[in-house]
Structure formats: structure tokens, C-alpha cells
Structure 1
């Protein structure tokens, strides 16, 4: 293990990009905590918390396929840097709005739209870039190590955001802006052998990523399983309600609750760096989704802060199995010339499970209350795991992680 890690850290471009993603992820997580708490302070409405997620998801959904096409034709490091700089401008706008007292529900929703567009371009670029910065044989561990770093950022970001929010939202927004600028500058200096596309853009090339995923049923099953599990089981949008009204804590408690899934995910990703998933991949994936659903039910019923933290940590650990499995399969089995488009499809699944899941949580909370909403989602996740076991038998019975990795897929 130590030799593999030493080889990874010797990849200077990979480490530079890893640091850029680390700074950007910390800023993103802090920004989400501040925006969610800020919105709930302004409106005290679960519906509006859900709208924050919806207003990020819809533009991300619309722009992701074009973003994937761009990621296969433009330098991916520069795309990532542009996304960081744009988000820094949004943090500056929130800082000014807070300081000058013109922060409103409409402004926050408008900024959510811009953040959604940024992430539409950011996700395919960063996913497709990593395989070009390390040798192929190091890629599975590089993905697990990247996940470890990002989960550590997701742990520190919300906690730091909650602590800083106590001193004022403007402090959080200023810190986010600085970190995003650092991430953008680091990404500008990432170098790799970029091959500029020479073929004409057509409708066939535009939708090639969708066709690739559809033809590879194992990848389709893994990504769609993750989508529906997190879509139904995610309770992130309701954490401000749980923090204030059920668990009776404040912004610091909210930050800890948001960080708890990342604690579990970090622990699991470190396990996967040491012991990568090599055998019985399908059964382990299905079992992880079941654990995710059960832990969500426990969180929904809990009225004790420590038990709630533990349940959320378990959901994060289970979800990380799906994340690393999906990412490794997609990157190893996709040719480089269309990794951006395939990563864009993968981003749609991720975005739907996160942003649309926040809207689903807010909407169902309006109908059945926050506890009922989380319970409904957890039981729905268990049902999805059972259905997917029958719909995708090749995924359920998958043994080796990279059985087909040596067979390069062809572009249709």
C-alpha cells in the first residue's frame, strides 16, 4: 500500500489538481451550509429549502450534456478553473448582499441557478481529467484517494462553515471566495497531454455518452441504483429543520450533521484505498444500498444528537461504496476521447440524486412532516435495492471490479 501511495504522490499534476479540488470542495460545502441556513432564517420554509436544490438541479440537468461535449474538446483544467472563479464571484455577491442587507429569497434562488450551471461544467471536467494525470494501473487507488481527500473536505467544510456562521454569514462567504480563488489558480497550472478534437460536432457525437451508458447495462445499473437510493434516502435538505426543531441545536450542530456522512465516507474510502473492491463487487454494492436505507430510517426516528450523527455517518460509508464502484467502472471502461460525455451522463445521475433529492425531501416534508419524509425515503431505498437486484442481474452477480477494463469500448 505504501509504495502505491508513494507512486501517487509522485504524480505532480495529479497532486496539484487534487489540492485544487480540495480547496474548491471545502468552499462548496461551506457555501451550501451558509446558503441553506440563510434561506431558512429568511423564510422558515421547508419548501424554500427544497427549491434551493431544485434551482441548482434544473440548470445543471439542462447544461450537463453540452458541458460533457465541451470537456471532450476544451482543456479540462481550464474548464474547472473557470467554474471556480465564477463561484468565487457568487460568493462575493452573497458577501455584498449580506453586508449591505439586500439578501433576499429571490437572490439566493438566482445564485443557486448560477451554481447549478457551474457544477454542470465542473463535474464532467474533473471526472474526465483524473485518468489523464495518473498511469492506468494507479487509477483505482487514485479514485479512492481522491474520494478520501474530498470526503475530508466535506467533513471540514460544513463544520467550519457552521462555526464561522456564528460570527456572521459574511465571514463564511468571504472565506469561500478566497478558497475558490485558490482552487482556480491551482487548476490553471495543471498540465496534461490535451488532444484538441478535430471532428465536427454532430447530434451523434453530442449524445454518444448516453448511448455508451445505455449499451453498458452494468454501468447503467450501478449509476441508476445510486441515483434512486440517494434521491429517496437523502435527508440533506431537511438538516436545518432537524438541527433547529428536532435535535434543538444551532449552526454548529447543523455543520456537524452535514459533516457526519462525510466522516463515514472518509473512513470507508480509506478502507477502499487499503483493500480495493476486487471480488463480489455486485453483492457488496447491493448490500451497501440496503445499509444506506436502514441507516436513513434510524436517522429519521432519532431524537438524540449523537445517534443522529452515527446514523448519518453510516449512510455516508454505505454511499461511498457506490461512489467508488461507479467511478472506477466508468473511468476504466470509457475511452479518453469520450470520457467527458460519459462523465456528463454520470453527473446527471449524481446531480439528480443530490439536488432533485433535496427538492423531493422538502416537498414530502410539507406533506407528511420531516420525520415522515425521511422514513418514506429510507424505506423507498430498501425497495429500490430489491428491484434493482432483479432488473440488473449482471450487476447483482458481478464478481471482479475490472473484469472488462482491458476491453476498450468503442464509440458508436
Structure 2
């Protein structure tokens, strides 16, 4: 069992720069996700159109992920990270065209929606690369004995920025409108790049001419399937969160069921991240020391039950509390899953394993958004959310009963 050194990792200046840059870029991404969900629903009034946002991003992201892992392992990481930053700035900048010129150029709601889907398709390609890079860089920046704490702090940074991004996105949309919110998002991504510039370069130990791309990608997939703890953790992420993605329907709940407007939407959208932020901050000081595998299975089950409660609630504050509790349970799950993947992966294959990990994450989040939109169209919004929570509980029970290595896992 590894010893933890809470908060000691923050003494590392390079690690602080990495986390600060990540804070600003995730803040921007969460504000963008909030903005797009609200914008598209106001344009179409169709829950299914929200699901298509996720599908537009996840198809290119998943398609490119394995190749992205190969590229990350074979190339200098800092340069790739900065390239992805500036690609995002360019692509999000394209959304300023309909945001500022929709009235002058007489764009219809459907034309703007299709344009948004097109831009998000290309951000999905960039996401395939930027998603795994930061987790790949962490083990080279911190000592191995500090790695579990670094993973926890990385997730805490992610969730704090998610909370701020979801809430700020709702408030900025409500008070300043879509176009000015987009400008803030672009500025935040540029600000992130200033911190990434201060990182040291991380070169690959491979000689590129000796590496076959297909063999390289197969090596990453093979390693995951041979390591049952990683496979079980990733399956929980993909399938459980795939069906438990109630967050995608929050614009519908805020507008039509709870009737709380843009400001209430922003807070409701941040609720699960508030819960996650609180619990991960606690875990960075008081880490889990044993039975992490059993705890992982228990919290995923509890997460599903909270989603069922949210789906059935018609009271704003009760809905908010169900999402906060779901976030607390998911936060514990994220820390355990992330630590398992980092500790069980050797350095030479980390980019490819993290890229496969990103496929599972993107499949669960963006495909979850699509699944929520589709099931809402077929079953109705409330029944679709309850169905998703029920499936999450069942999947946790199946994984727990069929993967004894994950169940007995502790670090």
C-alpha cells in the first residue's frame, strides 16, 4: 500500500503551472458546454438537438483517439498541448460569426444549429489529443510516491473549474448574452496557454522510424484488456455514466419542469460538480487508504440512485441536492478510477492507455448526452432519466460480480 503525502505535491512549481493552466482551460470548456446546451435548446426547443451536440463531438474524438495516443507517446508533449490550445481558440472563434451577425445576416435557428454542430465536430478532433496529454505529463512532473495525491489534486482542479464554469456560464448568458460569453471563453483558453508555456518539454524515448502505427495502437488496447483492474474501472465509467447522464437534460428541467430560467439553470448545472469538488477537496487531505475497489462499486451504485431521485423530483432544491449527492459519489469514483489507471500503467505506453481511457470517458459523457436526448424523445424526459439511473445501478452490480480483481483492488 502506498503512502500519501497530502498537499506536498503543490510545492512543485511545474505541477502548479500545469494545474493552473488546466483550471482555465476546463473553466472555458465547461462554460462552452453550458452555453451550447442553452443556445441550441433556445434555437430548436428540442431535447434531441442537445443530444446531437455530444454526438457531433464524440464521433471524431473517439475515431482519432487511438492515433492521438500514438502521437502523444512519440512526440514532445508541451508542443502538442499548445497546438491544441490554439486550435480551440480558432474553432470557438468561428462561433462568434452567428453570435454577432445572426440578425444582420438573417441566419435561421436551424442554420445556426447546423453550423454549431460543424464547429463542434472539429473540436472533437482537437479533444482527442488534448484530453490525454495532461494526465500523461503528470507522472513525469511529480515523484511516484506523490502520484496518488497528484491525481486527486488534478481531479480537484478539474471539478473546481467545472463548478465555476457551469455556474459562470449560466450567469454570463443570463446577464451578458451568448456573444460576450463566447469572448470570455476564448480569453480563458488563451490565458491557459500562458501557464502551459512555462512547462518543461517532455520528449519521447522512441525513435519514430522504428514504430509501426498500427502495432503501436494495438499495444495500448492489448495492455488494457490484460489488466483487469483498468478494464473494470473503465467499463464502469463508460457504461454507468453513459446511462446516468442526467446533466444533459438539465436545460429541459430548468426551462420546462422546474421553471427557474438561465440563472437557476447555471446553478443546477453546477450542482453535481459542487458535490464532487467538496468530496475531492476532502480526499486530497484525508485520502482513501483501503478497499478502494469495493468503495468504487458502492459509490457508482449510489450515483445511479441519485439520478433516479433527480428524475422524479419536481422541487428545485430537492433536485439540486440529488445532483450534489450524485456529484459527491462520482467524485470518489473519479479519484479511484484515475489512480488505478495511473498506477497500473508504465510510462512508455501511458499516452496510448490514456487515449483509450479518453475513449471511455468521451463515450460515457458525449454518448451519454446523445443517449439522454434520444431516450427523452422516445420515453419522455422524466422516464428517460429514471431509466438511465436504473441502468447505472444494474451495471455496477454486474461489473462487481464479474470482476473480482477490481473488487479486491486497493493501493
Corresponding residue for 1:405? none
1:12-411 pair list within 5 angstroms:
12-101=13-102, 102=107, 104-166=112-174, 167-199=176-208, 200-202=210-212, 203-398=214-409, 400-401=410-411
CA shift digits 1:361-404 (9 cap, x unpaired): 00000011110000000111111111111211221232x22xxx
Task: Verify the 8 A CA contact 2:25 2:189 in the aligned structure 1.
Answer: yes
Q: Distance in 2 between matches of 1:207 and 1:128?
A: 18
Q: Distance in 2 between matches of 1:391 and 1:369?
A: 33
Where structure 1 has 5 or more consecutive residues not aligned to the other structure, the ranges are 402-412
Task: Verify the 8 A CA contact 2:6 2:285 in the aligned structure 1.
Answer: no
Task: Verify the 8 A CA contact 2:65 2:129 in the aligned structure 1.
Answer: yes
Task: Verify the 8 A CA contact 2:5 2:146 in the aligned structure 1.
Answer: yes
Where structure 2 has 5 or more consecutive residues not aligned to the other structure, the ranges are none
Of residues 179-188 and 191-200 in structure 1, the stretch that sits farther from structure 2 once superposed is 191-200
Q: Distance in 1 between matches of 2:41 and 2:346?
A: 44
CA RMSD after TM alignment: 1.4
Q: 1:233 to 1:193 in 2, by over 3 A?
A: closer
Task: Verify the 8 A CA contact 1:231 1:354 in the aligned structure 2.
Answer: yes
| Number of equivalent positions | 398
CA shift digits 1:151-190 (9 cap, x unpaired): 1110111111111112210111000000001112321321
CA shift digits 1:110-160 (9 cap, x unpaired): 111112111111111111111111111111111111111111110111111
Q: Scaled by the length of structure 2, what TM-score is found?
A: 0.94
User: How far off its partner does 1:232 sit?
Assistant: 0.5
Task: Verify the 8 A CA contact 1:78 1:187 in the aligned structure 2.
Answer: no
Task: Verify the 8 A CA contact 2:239 2:392 in the aligned structure 1.
Answer: yes
User: How far off its partner does 1:226 sit?
Assistant: 1.6
Which SS does the other structure have where 2:345 is aligned? coil
User: How far off its partner does 1:96 sit?
Assistant: 2.7
Q: Scaled by the length of structure 1, what TM-score is found?
A: 0.94
CA shift digits 1:28-85 (9 cap, x unpaired): 0111111111101111111111100111111011000011111101222222222221
